[in-house]
Structure 1
Amino acid sequence: MNAYFIKRDKMKYIALIFVSFMLFSCQGSARKEASNDSSSSLPPIGGAKDKYGCLIAAGYTWSKIKDECIRPWEGTITMNITDTSTNFETAAFVLMDLTKQKAELFIQEEDDSVLLDSVTPHLYANEHYKLIEENHCWSLIHQEETLYEEKK
């Protein structure tokens, strides 16, 4: 009778090993699937993008004139704010199209860039803003107040 119990115990032991192996192998694949799912919920490398797909953290924003993401401070006219007492932003940027028919403003007062149309060779305007060149320097005017000026 002892041989019967020993044989039965060996069978239980083998069955227990088999069941354990099956359980751990299933959990291993579940862990792999869980790790794959968690990586897809992470933000993309490089940070958030705006509604146009421009990488915000790298300083990119959408240009209506170029129809692509640009860094406004690269290849544009830089103008300094005239009243620094009320504002932390210190610069605005202007991009002109190749035909000089439109100017695009990148200013902190607006969420998106602003397009101005050429009125004369030294004046661009829309219903809110005027961009005027005098003495080879640009000024941005809003409601008769000069907001930004190019360094002289």
Structure 2
Amino acid sequence: MKKIITLFAVAFIFCSCKLNDQQEGKQEVTVNSTPKDSTVVNDKDENGCLASAGYIWSKVNKECVKGFSGIQLNPVDKPDNEDETLSAYVLFSEDAKQAEIFLPRDTTSIVLTRAAEGKPWILNDWQLVPWKGYVLKKGDKSLFSGDGEIGKKVTGTDTEQ
């Protein structure tokens, strides 16, 4: 009698495990066949620069560049500014005849040209003057200035970040 009860118990456990495995397999099929969210974020600009990664198109260098790269120019009224979004950035062409200015909160850049070494880069009423670093002016008003060093500046330290 003990052998029969043991045999039934083993058969019962075996069948219930087999049934459980089949049900789990069906659940997996159901879960896997559920359509996934197929929303694709395409934030590349017309030049193929990935905006979400901070890249923008450089007209001067003809390539995607990081938005906060180049020489940082802080607002004249906030020289110790640590908020990168308030600063302008300058990239130069290889021959340094052109300076591309990326202004804060502006999706396009302006390209300034200079006539000779030592002269300012100019476009209409914009000027980039090489003086104790660089000063960006619009008309007679100085808007941004910087020391001419590339990269983000941290006030109160000797090092760049």
TM class by shorter chain equals 0.5 to 0.7
Paired residues for 1:32-43 under 5 Å: 35=35, 39=38, 42-43=39-40
How far off is 1:109 after superposition? 5.9
Paired residues for 1:117-132 under 5 Å: 117-122=113-118, 123-132=120-129
Paired residues for 1:1-152 under 5 Å: 35=35, 39=38, 42-44=39-41, 48-74=43-69, 76-84=70-78, 89-108=85-104, 110-122=106-118, 123-135=120-132, 137-151=133-147
What SS does structure 1 have at the residue aligned with 2:104? coil
What SS does structure 2 have at the residue aligned with 1:105? strand
Match of 2:14 in 1: none
How far off is 1:120 after superposition? 2.9
Listed as ranges, the gaps of 5+ residues in structure 2 are 1-28, 149-161
Aligned pair count reads 113
Distance in 1 (alpha carbons) for counterparts of 2:46 and 2:77: 31
What SS does structure 2 have at the residue aligned with 1:51? coil
How far off is 1:94 after superposition? 0.6
The 4+ residue runs of structure 1 with deviation greater than 4 A are: none
Distance in 2 (alpha carbons) for counterparts of 1:110 and 1:58: 17
Deviations 1:61-117 (A, max 9, x none): 00011111100333x111111134xxx743111111111111100112643111001
Q: For the structure 1 residues 110 and 129, does the alpha-carbon distance in structure 2 shift closer, same or farther, using more than 3 Å as the test? A: farther
How far off is 1:148 after superposition? 0.5
Checking the alignment, whether the CA contact within 8 Å between 2:86 and 2:104 is kept in structure 1 is no
Distance in 2 (alpha carbons) for counterparts of 1:54 and 1:106: 15
- Aligned residues with identical type, % of pairs: 25
Distance in 1 (alpha carbons) for counterparts of 2:113 and 2:147: 23
Letter in 2 for 1:150: G
What SS does structure 1 have at the residue aligned with 2:90? strand
Letter in 2 for 1:128: D
More strand by share: 1
